[in-house]
Structure 1
Amino acid sequence: MRTTPRRQPTLDEVAARAGVSRTAASRAINNNPHVSQSKRDAVQKAVQELGYVPNPTARALATRRVGAVVLAVSSDEPALFADPFFAEVTVGVSSFLEETDLELILLLAHTPRGTDRLQRILASRRADGLMLMAVRGDDQLAHLAQRTDLPVVFGGLPLHGTPRWYVDPDNRGGGRLAAEHLLRGGRRRIAMITGQVDLQASVARERGFREALALAGASLSALEAGDFTVDGGEAAMERLLAAHPDLDAVFAAGDNMALGALRTLRRHGRTVPRDVALVGFDDLAGAPHADPPLTTVHQPARALGREMARMLTDVIDGQDPSPLILPTRLTVRESAPGDQP
């Protein structure tokens, strides 16, 4: 009598027996550092109970790791470390990687020297993957990402093209929220301060803002470009007041620019929000402490960092995660409370 060969258990069955995800089971079996001890123990027990035997070829590929990932930011050092948004993103990345034991390499790639250093790291495969932040339209970082065979996750969409893996706030939706709020408050002579025109976040926030105005039969009275800094917002607000002294509302596409605009408005004797309502974007830690506290579009900067790191580790482990859009929401404070002026 012929005996039917015993079917080998699968990785999915091991994961189900251990009560963990397939990814966590794979990490534990391949001795990857980014898995908790409790999950590792549960997977090991399931392997023994089921008699699971890992595929040696797949295991060899999975364990060929350096143990480090790169977070590359298209910014110079003073701008980066003065910007609370990037600090929050970095904290998010770091907090997730602390659970994995992967090392984080933070690289400022705004200068040719920084770009060359990143190129050397990628060419020598001293990292298992790469996260890119604040990639501009003509940025060399985007070209490096296209040429490397390492996994690359974008924090925010680049201006041109759509990468395979990215995490992005809903910038367009956030711009719509800002316009709708100002219109509900009865504001009609509305201006906007944008960020750098070669950043997708700037383009998307302006597009959403204009769309909401147009849908309500309103129009944008004036537009000035800033650079996501306090000084840039201050200078842009000076130009707006000189050309359009009757403005009754301003949307600044970043909290830092909104704080600069607030400084200018105060210097010119404009009361916020009685004379001019002001809305920012980011909801950074300083927003509630402004005078008056800043109404702003909240984007989850720390969650953006965590989800970038999570997505990259999934790709490193052989998964193919879908791109992720994080929701934005309006945080209403005294600078634009929403009542009639």
Structure 2
Amino acid sequence: MKPKKLAAFKGFKRAFFSFRDLHLTYHQSSADINGPPMGSFSLKGCEVTPDVSVSQSKFHIKLLVPSAEGMVDFVLKCDTEHQYARWMAACRLASRGKSMAYASYQQEVDSIKNLLKMQSAGNGRENGGGSQHQRKAQPVKLPNDFNVDEYVSSRYVKRARSKQALQQRISDAHSNVKSLTSTEAKLQYIRAWQALPEHGIHYFIVRFRNGKKSDLIGVASNRIVKLNMDNGESLKTWRYTNMKKWHVNWEIRHLKVQFEDEDIEFKPLSADCKVVHEFIGGYIFLSMRSKEQSQTLNEELFHKLTGGWI
């Protein structure tokens, strides 16, 4: 583990971690498990971001943990893909107030493993910490007039060693999915898209009540997050699970959200307040639907949640 505030110190400090309910606790070693821990913190309401490079065997988990002093950054380093998938799934569930006993834990693990498998496709590296060797698929021959700039963002083209190397990566990745059916390819694309750290987040420039300058917020499927406008880092998170109610003042175009520990009020500047309100109401409506419940669309509830007065 390495706190980002101590990032000037190179390397990570190895410790023995244990996960219980929503709390992450660490000791100097497994022999000290019955003694006082070196540290412990709750992951409920934290931000969980992957920092992974399969080709470099880099499996990091970035945590932005709420505390009395504000948000604290931690980086957890996992040794293997299997370890990373289990811990990442546990951290994601804990951030939503759910433990590893929750029914979707294994589904989270499998989803993360599938994403890692897609990233490692075609490079012939060892999978799962070296226990099983992948068979390298035959690269796909791309057309002679294939232009990388038409398929890849310019910022990634600039970061690549060369366009030829980038083209080879595309060929290798394509070889791993060429045998999929159309439906399988679409589902795999959706899973990869959903695993992205910024999946489902919509950004708005707002001015908080009594604020002197504009701020950036993101409205996601399970939270509202205040972001640093310069680098996009999370500054504060408010989760819907702690929300009591929200209200739109149509006269001054303000949106007020009441949480268990505080209230926030802001005026959207980059969009009408109705748009922000509909995103929040829509996401809450989706969170109330599950596979275990009836999927019949409750239009009355949907219009109530997105109609302006809750």
TM-score range, shorter chain: under 0.3
The structure having more radius of gyration, on CA atoms, is 1
Tell me the TM-score normalized by structure 1: 0.22
TM-score normalized with structure 2 length: 0.23
**Which structure has the highest strand share of the two?**
2
Question: Higher helix proportion, which one?
Answer: 1
